[in-house]
Amino acid sequence: MEMINYKTALREGFEAAQKADLARREVRNVLDKFKEDVLTGSEGKLLIELKQLEAEETAFQRLARTSVVGASPKKLYWALVATNPTAKEPSHKQLARWRQAKEGYPCLLQLRDQEIQFEDRTALEQGLADLLRDPSTGETLYNLMKQK
């Protein structure tokens, strides 16, 4: 019978944590560049960033959630959200839902009824560019830019 080597397991855990940290930083850097390029490309009129939002719920879901002792909190999710920071009363428009593995990758964008998964930096960068090229996204961003 072979003995378990806890030192090796510990080292492997540290290596996995370092790899995940690098991947999360890489994703953050891609999103920061995306945000910066869109802001400068729109002459400061479009800000796109990750925000945590509350999931919409029906009246029945709200009643069920709040009628129990120790009611459960509202469900939250992450989304790429656009706004015009120069508008007098900026409104936020959700472009896509966002999910990310704790290991950094994969990342997932949910756009309408479509889910797109990104396994690495190149795929994520391409996916964000595709999001900007999407006609529905383009219309949303164009209307935000027109806000005064």
pTM: 0.84
Q: Which of 93, 99, 57, 105 is nearest to 77 (CA)?
A: 99
Helix, strand, coil shares of the chain, percent, nearest 5, are 45, 25, 30
Predicted local confidence at residue 66, as pLDDT: 61
pLDDT in tens, the chain (148 residues): 778 899 999 999 999 999 999 999 999 999 999 999 999 999 999 999 999 999 876 666 566 656 666 666 778 999 999 999 999 988 899 999 999 999 999 999 999 889 999 999 999 999 999 999 999 999 999 999 999 8
Output the six-digit token pair for 34: 């995306």
Tokens 């009246």 sit at which residue?
59
Of the candidates 19, 10, 12, the one whose C-alpha atom is nearest the C-alpha of residue 104 is 19
pLDDT attached to residue 75: 86
